[in-house]
């Protein structure tokens, strides 16, 4: 006698489909969105293309183009707004470049006597020498710290982020600890706080004060302007010599657990902060 089906037992055949009722299918997994630099290059500005190749920031790329260091199909093009066409062969200093497929973000605690550039024509040590061959992608420093200045420096191949962090309209916060050759007078501290008029315009600071627990020749200064040697020039304008300058905070990033001369990859959370909240 055949066994009667168990009503409580679940069938592996699935529910009976009514005529005309659509069959349910397993939803397909969504593919990850392509990285920003995997987009089509057709119509892209030449300086933006160079930046996406991990050579430098978009602003610096525009300067390289104007200087004739970039060629398109073997010919020098000095207009940063040149529209790249599909199939164009772009070269920087004679070497063909292509957009990076992987975006890299490194935070470096720069020591003294290293040049903030990808390559130095005089053969001096650069910040990229500290990274060596441990990162295969072409990366470049965002902004500059002069040779004697130490502290936080971001290295990346993300041209769009570099442009954002470098542009004054985004008011990216930077905090420096400064050591002077003599105590800073209270009157001069007030002048700095009010904003000094330098040869290239007013130097506006967000905050300035004596380092807590330190002597009056140790100063903390916070600002968002990024003009060349701005911190040193502020104090030199008032007759002080900067004997030590260290950037301890940059765009929400700190030197915590990062010894001098060392670097680390940014966390995913830090990258999101820089891109969307800084």
Per DSSP, the residues of 97-137 read ----SS--EEEEEE-TT-BSSS--TT---BHHHHHTTS--S
Active site residues: 146
Rg (Cα) of the chain, in Å, rounded? Answer: 27
In angstroms, the CA 131 to CA 70 distance is 26
- What is the model's pLDDT at position 31? 35
Query: 242-250 and 150-156 as β-strands: parallel, antiparallel, unpaired?
Result: parallel
Taking the C-alpha atoms of residue 221 and residue 229, their distance in angstroms, rounded to an integer, is 14
Please say whether the beta carbons of 48 and 61 come within 8 A. yes
Q: What is the pTM of this model?
A: 0.70
Identify the structural domains of the chain with CATH numbers, from first to last: 37-96 (3.10.290.10), 105-168+255-276 (3.30.70.580), 173-250 (3.30.2350.10)
What letter does residue 45 receive in the DSSP assignment? B
Question: Using an 8 Å Cβ cutoff, are 84 and 107 in contact?
Answer: no
Distances from the Cα of 65 to the Cαs of 39, 42, 62, 77, 184, in angstroms? 21, 18, 5, 7, 44
Question: Cα separation of 177 and 115, whole Å?
Answer: 20
Q: Alpha-carbon distance 81 to 121, whole Å? A: 27
First to last CA, the chain: 76
Euclidean distance between CA atoms 117 and 127, whole angstroms: 7
Distance between CA atoms of residues 87 and 45, nearest Å: 14
What's the CA gap between 73 and 96, in Å, rounded? 10
Provide the CB-side half-sphere exposure for 92 (13 A, CA): 20
Can you give the pLDDT of all 278 residues of the chain as single tens digits? 444 445 444 444 444 444 443 343 333 333 333 334 444 677 899 999 998 887 888 888 999 999 999 999 999 999 999 999 988 999 999 999 988 778 999 999 999 999 998 888 888 999 999 999 999 888 999 988 999 999 999 999 998 899 889 887 788 999 999 999 999 999 999 999 999 999 999 999 999 999 988 789 999 999 998 888 999 999 999 999 999 999 999 999 999 999 999 999 999 899 989 987 76
- Residue 235 sits at φ, ψ, to 5 deg, of -75, -35
What's 79-91 look like in SS3? Answer: CCCCECCCCCCEE
φ, ψ for residue 17 (rounded to 5)?
-90, 130
State how far the Cα of 11 lies from the Cα of 180, in Å rounded to an integer.
82
């Amino acid at each position: 006698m055949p066994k009667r089906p168990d009503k409580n037992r679940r069938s592996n055949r699935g529910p009976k489909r009514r005529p005309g009722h659509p069959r349910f299918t397993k939803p397909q997994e969504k593919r990850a969105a392509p990285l920003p630099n995997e987009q089509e290059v057709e119509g892209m500005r030449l300086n933006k293309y160079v930046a996406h190749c991990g050579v430098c920031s978009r602003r610096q790329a525009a300067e390289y183009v104007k200087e004739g260091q970039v060629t398109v199909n073997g010919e020098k093009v000095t207009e940063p707004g040149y529209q790249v066409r599909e199939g164009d062969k772009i070269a920087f200093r004679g070497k063909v470049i292509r957009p990076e497929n992987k975006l890299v973000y490194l935070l470096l605690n720069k020591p003294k006597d290293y040049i903030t550039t990808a390559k130095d024509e005089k053969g001096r040590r650069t910040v990229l020498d500290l990274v060596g061959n441990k990162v295969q992608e072409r990366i470049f420093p965002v902004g500059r710290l002069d040779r004697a200045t130490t502290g936080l420096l971001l290295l990346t191949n993300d041209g769009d982020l570099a442009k954002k962090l470098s542009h004054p309209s985004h008011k990216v916060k930077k905090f420096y600890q400064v050591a002077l050759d003599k105590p800073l007078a209270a009157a001069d501290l007030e002048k700095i706080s009010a904003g000094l008029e330098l040869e290239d315009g007013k130097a506006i600071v967000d905050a300035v004060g004596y380092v807590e627990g330190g002597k009056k020749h140790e100063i903390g200064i916070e600002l968002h302007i990024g003009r060349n040697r701005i911190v040193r020039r502020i104090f030199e304008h008032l007759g002080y010599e900067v004997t030590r300058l260290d950037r301890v905070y940059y765009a929400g990033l700190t030197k915590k657990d990062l010894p001098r001369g060392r670097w680390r990859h940014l966390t995913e959370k830090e990258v999101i902060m820089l891109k969307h909240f800084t």
